[in-house]
Amino acid sequence: MLKLLIRGKFHFFIGALLLLLSFDSLAYTQSRVVKGPDGKPVKIEGSVVMIEPEIQLYEAMASGILEPRQEWSKTAQKLYPEMVAASLKQGGVSLKPEFEVRDDLDPNSRIGQIIRLNKAVSFSIRRFTLSNTSLATKKGKQLDWSLGPGVQELQKVTGADYALFTMIEDSYSSKGLAALRIIGALWLGGDIGGGAQVGITTLVDLRTGQVVWFNYIYNQTGDLRDEEGAKATAKKLLKGFPL
Partner 1 sequence: MKTLAKYFFILVILLSAACASTSGKLIKANTSARVFDMEFDTSLDWAKDRFGRYELWTVDGPYLNSLWTISKIRPKEHVFLTSRERKSRPDGAFYRTGLRPDELKDLIADAFRGQGYANVETSGLRPARIAGASGIRFEIKQTNAIGLNYAGTVLAIEKDDKLTLIFWEAPVEHYYGRDIEAVNKLMDSVRFVK
Partner 2 sequence: MKTATTMASLLMALCLFAGDSHAEQGQADDIGPIPPGYRPASNTDESELWYIEAKQEVELKQSPRLIRDPELNAYVRRVTCKVTGDYCKDLRIYILDVPYFNAMMTPSGIMVIWSGALLRIQNEAELALIIGHEFGHFKNRHSLQQFRKIKKSGAFLNTFGVLTYGTGADLVANLIGIASLQKFSRDHEREADKTGFSTVVNNGYDPRVGALLWDRMLQEEKAADYGKPLPVFASHPKSQERRDDLQAAAAAIDNPSSQRDAEAYRHETEKFQQQWLEGELSRRMYQSSIVVMTELLSVSPAEHKGLYTFFLAEAHRRKNKEGDRAKADELYAQATQLPDAPSGAWREYGLALKSANNKPAALAALNRYLALDPKADDRLFIEQYLKELQVAP
| Residue 90 interacts with partner 1 (CB under 8 A): yes or no | no
| Among positions 66, 85, 95, 185, the unique one binding partner 2 when judged by CB under 8 A | 66
Q: Are 193 and 173 in contact (CB under 8 A)?
A: no
In the complex, minimum distance from the CB of residue 117 to partner 1, in angstroms, rounded to a whole number: 5
Strand 197-205, strand 54-60: pairing: unpaired
5 binds partner 2, rule: CB under 8 A: yes
| Residue 110 binding target from partner 2, partner 1, none, CB below 5 to 8 Å by type | partner 1
89 to 24, 47, 75, 93, 138: CA distances (angstroms): 29, 11, 21, 5, 33
**Phi, psi of 207, deg, nearest 5:** -95, -30
- Grouping H, G, I as helix, E, B as strand and the rest as coil, residue 76 is helix
Q: Residue 42, class by beta-carbon neighbours within 10 Å (0-12 exposed, 13-18 middle, 19+ buried)?
A: middle
Q: Of partner 2, partner 1, none, which one does residue 183 interact with (CB within 5 to 8 Å by kind)? A: partner 2
| Shortest distance in whole angstroms from residue 128 CB to partner 1 | 5
Residues whose CB is less than 8 angstroms from the CB of residue 200 and which lie 6 or more positions away in sequence, other chains included? 122, 123, 126, 166, 167, 168, 214, 215, 216, 217
Nearest CA among 211, 164, 222 for reference residue 28 = 222
Q: Does 185 bind partner 2 (CB under 8 A)?
A: no
Q: Does position 200 bind partner 1 by CB under 8 A?
A: yes
**Interface mask toward partner 1 for 157-186; x: CB under 8 A:** ----------x-x-----------------
Interaction between residue 70 and partner 1 (CB under 8 A): no
Count CA atoms within 13 Å of residue 213 on its CB side.
21
Among partner 1, partner 2, none, the one that 240 touches (CB under a kind-dependent 5 to 8 A) is none
CB of 210 to partner 1, least distance (A): 11
Interface ranges with partner 2 (CB under 8 A): 3, 5-6, 8, 10, 56, 59, 61-70, 103-105, 107, 112, 174-177, 179-180, 183, 186-187
Interface ranges with partner 1 (CB under 8 A): 107-108, 110, 112-114, 116-117, 119-121, 123-128, 132-137, 139, 145-150, 167, 169, 198, 200, 209
